[in-house]
Copies of this chain bind each other. A is one copy, B any other.
Amino acid sequence: ASIVVLPGDGIGPEVASAGVAVLRQIATRFGHEFTFAEHAIGGDAIDRFGDPLPPQTREALLAADAVLLGAVGGPKWSDPNAPVRPEQGLLAMRKLLGVFANVRPLKLHPRTAALSPLKPERTKGVDLVFIRELTGGIYFGAKTRSEHDATDECRYSVEEIERVVRHAFALARTRRRKVTSVDKANVLETSRLWRSVATRVAADFPDVALEHQLVDSMAMHLLTRPADYDVIVTENMFGDILTDEASVLAGSLGLSPSASIGGPGAGVYEPIHGSAPDIAGQSLANPLGTILSAAMLLRHSLGLTEEAAAVEAAVDHVLEHADLTRDLGGTATTHAVTRAVIEACN
Binding site for B on A (CB under 8 A): 80-81, 85, 87, 91, 117-119, 122, 138-139, 141, 143-145, 147-158, 184-193, 195-196, 215-217, 219-220, 222-224, 237-238, 240-245, 247-248, 253
A216 touching B192 in the complex, CB below 8 Å, given contacts A80-B186, A138-B154? no
Q: Which of A118, A119, A149 has the most CB of B within 10 A?
A: A149
Which residues of B are found within 8 Å of A139, using beta-carbon distances? Answer: 187
A80 touching B240 in the complex, CB below 8 Å, given contacts A119-B117, A151-B155? no
**A220 is contacted by which of B148, B216, B248 (Cβ under 8 Å)?**
B248
A152 touching B188 in the complex, CB below 8 Å, given contacts A81-B196, A117-B224? yes
Once the chains are docked, how many angstroms separate the CA of A118 from the CA of B219?
14
Closest 10 CB pairs of A and B: A80-B185, A150-B193, A143-B189, A219-B245, A216-B244, A149-B157, A150-B189, A117-B122, A223-B248, A151-B155
B141 and A151 contacting across the interface, CB-CB below 8 Å: yes
A223 and B117 contacting across the interface, CB-CB below 8 Å: yes
Copies of the protein in its oligomer: 2
Once the chains are docked, how many angstroms separate the CA of A139 from the CA of B192?
13
**A87 is contacted by which of B158, B186, B196 (Cβ under 8 Å)?**
B186
B245 and A151 contacting across the interface, CB-CB below 8 Å: no
A216 touching B195 in the complex, CB below 8 Å, given contacts A151-B189, A248-B223? no
Residue in chain B with minimal CB distance to A238: B241
Which residues of B are found within 8 Å of A153, using beta-carbon distances? Answer: 151-154
Residue in chain B with minimal CB distance to A86: B186
Once the chains are docked, how many angstroms separate the CA of A222 from the CA of B118?
12
Which residues of B are found within 8 Å of A244, using beta-carbon distances? Answer: 216-217, 219-220
Once the chains are docked, how many angstroms separate the CA of A154 from the CA of B190?
12
Which residues of B are found within 8 Å of A245, using beta-carbon distances? Answer: 219-220, 222-223, 245
Q: Which of A91, A154, A222, A238 has the most CB of B within 10 A?
A: A154
- Smallest CB–CB gap between A156 and chain B, Å? 6
Which residues of B are found within 8 Å of A122, using beta-carbon distances? Answer: 117
A138-B154, A149-B158, A238-B241 are known contacts; what are 11 more A-B pairs with Cβ within 8 Å?
A: A80-B192, A87-B187, A117-B118, A117-B122, A138-B188, A141-B151, A143-B188, A149-B155, A149-B157, A152-B188, A216-B243
- Smallest CB–CB gap between A159 and chain B, Å? 8
Residue in chain B with minimal CB distance to A123: B117
Which residues of B are found within 8 Å of A190, using beta-carbon distances? Answer: 150-152
Residue in chain B with minimal CB distance to A90: B186
- Smallest CB–CB gap between A170 and chain B, Å? 23
B151 and A157 contacting across the interface, CB-CB below 8 Å: no
A158 and B152 contacting across the interface, CB-CB below 8 Å: no
A91 and B187 contacting across the interface, CB-CB below 8 Å: yes
A219 and B241 contacting across the interface, CB-CB below 8 Å: yes
Residue in chain B with minimal CB distance to A80: B185
